[in-house]
Structure 1
Amino acid sequence: MNGPFNRGGRRKPMGEINVVPFIDVMLVLLVIFMITAPMLTQGVQVDLPQVTSEAIDAQEDNEPIVVSVDREGGYYLQLGGDEIRVDLDELAERVIILLDRQPGTPVMVRGDRSVPYGEVVTLMSTLQVSGVVNVGLISEPPPRD
């Protein structure tokens, strides 16, 4: 009997590679990447406090830089008592100059309630590119009844 289960005869060497395990591994990797890809989004890194919202102690020697966004999407830069309207590119240049003069100056963002979220994210991203490590968000406390 010369069938495939005959052990008495000489075996012929097989000249092909079984690729089924490779295909299985590739499909598993494809599924893993498809699941994890939406989770890999870029964002602005903001160091937020882990406590209830309390007033920040004002430091006499280091007055914060306050950047505001109004309802129309205009940007304002306030340092001390002066507040000037600037565009986004000019804002980045001025913040870089101010942080070069005083490296530990805190930066606070004040945005109008009706400003789209994208405007605030764009502002915070611009501040991050300008070298601001920590950004604070200014809010008003709720009215007491």
Structure 2
Amino acid sequence: MLVLLVVFIVTAPLLTNAIPLKLPQTNAVAPPDQAKPLVVSVDKQGNYFLDTEPLSLEEVGARVREAHSQDPARGVQLRADENVVYAKVAQAMAVIQQSGITRLAVMTDAKG
């Protein structure tokens, strides 16, 4: 669990995501070039999405586990609305960790 607490704060273009979220703002660093990561989103109602597909938390875990078995180097970007209950984010992080993912980035918007 401690590994998940150490996350990369990155900024990425959000034009391809159709899930409306209000991300918290921070000063961020550009992400390194890597294979396209999976995007797990949590909207302000606490609903989970893998890319743009709404899924239950268990389904997200199964899909992330399957993707990890196909490409162990693939990472996950976790996007959560700033108004979502923290427990929903913690549950998503736990499911991602249990799937074997070691590369997790928590997404924010850049200030200014």
TM range (shorter): 0.7 to 0.9
CA RMSD of aligned residues (A): 1.8
Aligned pair 1:107/2:76, yes or no?
Answer: yes
Partner of 1:45: 3
By percentage of residues, which structure has more strand?
2
Counterpart position of 1:118: 87
1:90–1:138 Cα change, 3 Å? same
Cα distance in 2 for partners of 1:70, 1:44 equals 24
The within-5 A match list for 1:57-68 is 57-59=32-34, 62-68=35-41
* Residue in structure 1 matched with residue 22 of structure 2 by the alignment: none
Within 5 Å, give how 1:1-145 maps onto structure 2: 43=1, 45-46=3-4, 47-49=6-8, 53-59=28-34, 62-78=35-51, 83-143=52-112
**Ranges of 4+ aligned residues in structure 1 off by more than 6 Å:** none
What CA distance in whole angstroms lies between the structure 2 residues aligned with 1:99 and 1:120? 20
Higher helix share: 1
Letter in 2 for 1:114: N
Work out the percentage of aligned pairs sharing the same amino acid: 28
Q: Which has the larger radius of gyration?
A: 1
- Structure 1 contact 95–130 (Cα < 8 Å) conserved: yes
Consecutive unaligned residues in structure 2, runs of 5 or more = 10-26
Count how many residue pairs are aligned between Structure 1 and Structure 2: 94
- Displacement of 1:57 in angstroms is 2.8
TM-score normalised by L of structure 1: 0.60
TM-score by length of 2: 0.76
Q: What is the aligned partner in structure 2 of residue 21 from structure 1? A: none
